[in-house]
Amino acid sequence: MAVQTRAIKRRIKSVKNTRKITKAMELVAASKMRKAVNFVLASRPYSKLAWSTILSIGTRVDTSLHPLLARHDEVKRVLLILITSDRGLAGGFNTNILRKTREEIRSFGEDVELQTICIGKRGADAMKRLKLPVMASFVEITNNTKFEEVLPIGRLVIDEFTKGSFDKVLVAYTDFVSAITQKPLIMQLLPLQREVAEVDKVEEVAAGFSLRSSTELTFEPSPNAVLDSMLPRLVETMVYQAVLESAASEHSSRMMAMRSASDAAGDMIDDLTFTFNQARQAGITQEIAEISSGKAALEN
Amino acid sequence: MAQLQLSIVTPERIVFEDEVDSVSAMTQMGEVTILPGHVPLVANLQAGELRLKKNGSESYLVASTGFLHVQSGNKIVILADTAERVEELELGKIEEARDRARKLLDEKRHVDDVAFANAAAMLERELARHRVVTKRKKYKDVGKSLS
């Protein structure tokens, strides 16, 4: 019996250690999440307004005016920016975004040439496993991201698109809805356009009525000068926002995963303690029975 | 009379969101004043002063480069890289930052084009802040002595 109780005791100890670790990771993730969420919420209004500005410009100027607006009739070459985390143990965070990405890739069909830019180690590894070409990989930037750190990605995308290397640029990222819900999303970054129906919806929200037939937009100093400085800036902002959303999602997803791991460890410890006490009790009972039967044998 | 619905946002925060009677801003073409009923307009902003008028009283902000978007329906969005209310700024800190930017500018002059451009933008921003704060300082001092 002593052997069995000792084994259970050892098991309890190891589960307790695991719980300590998951608890610590939960706390770390929680504090990182708070920070990341603050960043996301602070920059959201900016990127939302920036986006609606793009959309209202995109619908009202000649799209051939600027290469970043021009829609390509044939979508042959697609660039996908995949934003994942650098580390694992974040629950379904990476799995969900990768599943969504794989579905999207499958929907392209055979004749589309795909290139990827990976932000985060996990995504780059997954792309390697899927044998997809990775044009560039950025790691260790998803934590406390600064705008300057994301700039090169935006520049790279803009350069490649302007050169005509791609017909379409997509971003796969995880949208931070709340601490418990995160939504994997695929967003079209370039060309800066949306389906007409969707544009109408945004416009209505933005201005209170449909603007499709409204007057021409005035640009100062000139359409080209404004678009040249505005569009790249807005593309960079969108990439930055996507990275921030992903970071906030990653940390809250990890926090939830670690919390449930700690809870599960607690349950397991309770269970094992119960079994341990039962085994101990059984051992004592057996010893007493042995002693008393030994004594009875001596007396007779 | 119709009012303008103005929001001034930077990547860090919403600086201002309210209804105003008029907005004056520095664009690359010079200063513009937007009144209700303005045609839709998109303009590049330069580092400079933003003047808001509401019910006869004026308030001042400093914005750096960014964009001004006048939408129909009297809605105005200013997307700026940085923007502060004059009351939030302190002259001492600005002068410090300005000197730092000047030094950086000299250091990077023939070394690194990107860093040089950044330093130039920084200096321009600090100069704009300095200009506006010095100009509006009396208002600031009154505010300080009252509070």
- Mean pLDDT within B31-46: 88
Residue A209: helix, strand or coil by DSSP? coil
Asked if the structure places residue A43 within a domain, the reply is: yes
Shortest Cα–Cα distance, A21 to chain B (Å) = 34
Q: CA A178 to CA A233: how far, in whole Å?
A: 27
Q: Which comes out higher in pLDDT, residue B116 or A139?
A: A139
CB-based contact A221 B79, cutoff 8 Å: no
Q: CA A71 to CA A279: how far, in whole Å?
A: 73
Shortest Cα–Cα distance, A10 to chain B (Å) = 51
Asked if the structure places residue A131 within a domain, the reply is: yes
Tokens of A222: 């000139």
Cα B103–chain centre separation: 23
Q: Give the ipTM of the model, two decimals please.
A: 0.75
Residue A163: helix, strand or coil by DSSP? helix
Tell me which chain A residues have a C-beta less than 8 angstroms from the C-beta of B77.
Answer: 49, 53
- Tokens 């967003």 belong to A187
Asked if A45 reaches chain B (Cβ–Cβ under 8 Å), the answer is yes
Asked if the structure places residue A10 within a domain, the reply is: no
- Mean pLDDT within A71-81: 83
Confidence class for position A91, pLDDT limits 50, 70, 90: confident
The beta-carbon neighbor of A217 closest among B7, B11, B40 is B40
- Tokens 């100009």 belong to B135
CB-based contact A215 B39, cutoff 8 Å: yes
Q: CA B127 to CA B11: how far, in whole Å?
A: 21
Tokens of A258: 């670690």
Locate the chain B residue with the closest alpha carbon to A50. B79
State the Cα angle at A184 between B11 and A128, rounded to 5°. Answer: 105
Tell me which chain B residues have a C-beta less than 8 angstroms from the C-beta of A215.
Answer: 39-40, 72
Tokens of B81: 């890289």
Burial class (CB in 10 A: 0-12, 13-18, 19+), B108: middle
Question: What's the whole-model pTM score?
Answer: 0.80
Number of domains in chain A: 1
Residue A231: helix, strand or coil by DSSP? helix
Shortest Cα–Cα distance, B93 to chain A (Å) = 23
Contact call for residues A253 and A93 (beta carbons, < 8 A): yes
Domain CATH number, residue A200: 3.40.1380.10
Q: For A163, phi and psi rounded to 5 degrees?
A: -70, -20
Contact call for residues A88 and A122 (beta carbons, < 8 A): yes
Give pLDDT, residue A211.
42
CB-based contact A53 B29, cutoff 8 Å: no
Cα radius of gyration rounded to whole Å, chain A: 29
Q: What is the pLDDT of residues A177-195, one digit of tens each?
A: 888 889 998 888 878 765 4
Q: CA A183 to CA A242: how far, in whole Å?
A: 12
**Sequence-separated (6 or more) residues with CB below 8 Å from residue B115:** B104, B108
Range of the domain at A129: 27-255
Give pLDDT, residue A247.
92
Tell me which chain B residues have a C-beta less than 8 angstroms from the C-beta of A147.
Answer: 11
Shortest Cα–Cα distance, B94 to chain A (Å) = 22
Give the number of other Cβ atoms within 10 Å of residue B5's Cβ: 17
- Where in A162-237 does DSSP place strands (E)? 168-176, 182-190, 218-220
The beta-carbon neighbor of B9 closest among A46, A211, A216 is A46
**Nearest residue to A97 (alpha-carbon basis) of A68, A72, A118, A67:** A118
Tell me which chain A residues have a C-beta less than 8 angstroms from the C-beta of B42.
Answer: 53, 57, 217-220, 226, 230
**Sequence-separated (6 or more) residues with CB below 8 Å from residue A162:** A67, A68
Contact call for residues A1 and A282 (beta carbons, < 8 A): yes
Helices (H), B2-112: 91-108
Residue A27: helix, strand or coil by DSSP? helix
The beta-carbon neighbor of A207 closest among B11, B39, B75 is B75
Asked if the structure places residue A282 within a domain, the reply is: no
Tell me which chain A residues have a C-beta less than 8 angstroms from the C-beta of B10.
Answer: 46
Confidence class for position A208, pLDDT limits 50, 70, 90: very low
Average pLDDT, chain B: 83
Asked if A217 reaches chain B (Cβ–Cβ under 8 Å), the answer is yes
Contact call for residues B22 and B57 (beta carbons, < 8 A): no
* Interface-testing mutation among A40, A56, A220, A239, with chain B (most B C-beta atoms within 10 A): A220
Shortest Cα–Cα distance, A236 to chain B (Å) = 11
Counted across chains A and B, CB pairs separated by less than 8 A come out at 81
Give pLDDT, residue A292.
95
Q: What is the pLDDT of residues B39-68, one digit of tens each?
A: 888 888 888 888 898 888 888 888 888 889
Average pLDDT, chain A: 84
* Interface-testing mutation among B12, B28, B39, B72, with chain A (most A C-beta atoms within 10 A): B72
Amino acid at the residue A271: D
Amino acid at the residue A83: I
Asked if A202 reaches chain B (Cβ–Cβ under 8 Å), the answer is no
Q: What is the pLDDT of residues A278-298, one digit of tens each?
A: 999 999 999 999 999 999 999
**Sequence-separated (6 or more) residues with CB below 8 Å from residue A148:** none
Give pLDDT, residue A63.
67
The beta-carbon neighbor of A207 closest among B10, B73, B79 is B73
Asked if A226 reaches chain B (Cβ–Cβ under 8 Å), the answer is yes
- Mean pLDDT within A207-228: 65
CATH superfamily membership of B4-86: F0F1 ATP synthase delta/epsilon subunit, N-terminal (2.60.15.10)
* Interface-testing mutation among A35, A57, A217, A227, with chain B (most B C-beta atoms within 10 A): A217
Asked if the structure places residue A118 within a domain, the reply is: yes
